Amino acid sequence: MKKIFLIVLALIVYSYSIQAQNSEGKMDDKGRLALTAWVPEQIEGMPEASRQNLENKLKQIITANGMSASPFSSRFIITANVTVVTKDMTATAPPMQAYTLDVTFYVGDGFEGKSFASYTSTIKGVGANETKAYTAALKNIKTNDPGYQAFIEKGKAKIIEYYNSQCDFIIKEAKTLATQNKFEEAIWKLTSVPDVCADCYNKCMDAVAPIYKQQIDRDCKLKLTEANNLWAANQTVDAANQVGAIVSTIEPEAACFGEVKALSNKIAARVKELDAREWNYTLKEQAQESERIKAYRDIGVAYGNGQPQNVTYKSLW
């Protein structure tokens, strides 16, 4: 009986340990969710000079509440609407402008114009003129306000819910892009899914592998053709170095890599004939699984960074 009790106790402790690890993992993963800080071109009563101040505050709120600012325009945004509650003149010499503002923050889907969560904060500012008073009020936004935590957590949960519900559509869209030879965009869509959405993330990693293979196969053909043309035109050490710079970037898993190796061996032998020295360029080696996943993400990030940054989102209010 005592032995059975000890076994049950061990199982309970083990189960608790696993749950704790999973909870910690989820918290860490949520921190990888990315938002784009966005301020509409026009907010009624807001001086143009204050727009940058508000955007900076939004970015600070993202960071202070366990998320990351997206390096490129993503569909999920944090934004704010500002309402002037009072605007008065102070009884001072000289008189000053005094503003009371209600700032309502939103997290949502900027492509669909759908709000996931909101939070309102009242702030005040005083300045020599309207612009300075307005800007002074925005500076009083406390990015570590505890009220933001529940607001951000609700937004995070809705973003995760979006990925879980839209996963099959995301994969289908990526596969359609791949049939159009838009491999980089397809990889970007699949690698943009955060790993907190475990099921969807794993499905996307499975889906991205064959698309990545198509992408590196195409890349290999293009680079091999360029390298062959260069070498055929002028078989000198200088031309060999130009070819080397090209072929050294080709992935070893590409279908034409055998031809790349043959060309590389031929050039190395010719360089030794011409200059009695070893050729300095080496081909890539087979990547490990972790390196392959990084390669997927690198392609996705490169594509995202190359997209226009002046995306106009739909209002969330």
> Which parts of the chain have pLDDT scores under 50?
1-31
- The number of C-alpha atoms within 13 Å of 22 and in the hemisphere containing its C-beta is 8
DSSP 54-81: HHHHHHHHHHHTT-EE-SS--SEEEEEE
- From the list 160, 185, 140, the residue with the least C-alpha distance to 67 is 160
> pLDDT tens across 251-265, in order?
999 999 999 999 999
* Spatial contact of 244 and 280, defined as CB atoms under 8 Å apart: yes
Which pLDDT score is estimated for 25? 36
Cα atoms found within 13 Å of the Cα of residue 112, Cβ hemisphere only:
9
Question: What is the biggest distance separating any 2 CA atoms in the chain, rounded to whole angstroms?
Answer: 91
pLDDT (0 to 100) of residue 68: 78
- CATH code, 34-163: 3.30.160
Which pLDDT value is given to residue 29? 41
Averaged pLDDT score across all residues of the chain: 87
The Cα–Cα gap between 144 and 303 comes to: 33
The pLDDT tens digits of the residues spanning 265-310 come to 999 999 999 887 788 899 999 888 888 889 999 999 899 888 776 7
Cα 164 from Cα 69, distance rounded (Å): 22
pLDDT at 44: 84
pLDDT at position 22: 34
Place of tokens 């005083």: 126
pTM of the model: 0.77
What are the Cα distances from residue 187, in Å, to 164, 177, 190, 202, 224?
18, 9, 5, 14, 23
* E strand spans, the chain: 34-37, 68-69, 76-89, 97-109, 114-127
CA nearest 211: which of 228, 236, 186? 186
Which tokens go with 166?
Answer: 């839209």
pLDDT (tens digit, 9 = 90+) per residue, 78-110? 999 999 999 999 988 899 999 999 999 999 999
Q: How far apart (Å, rounded) are the C-alpha atoms in residues 3 and 305? A: 60
Nearest to 39 by CA among 76, 79, 74: 79
pLDDT for the residue numbered 57 = 94
Q: Which of 155, 173, 55 is nearest to 114 (CA)?
A: 155
Domain with CATH 3.30.160 in the chain: 34-163
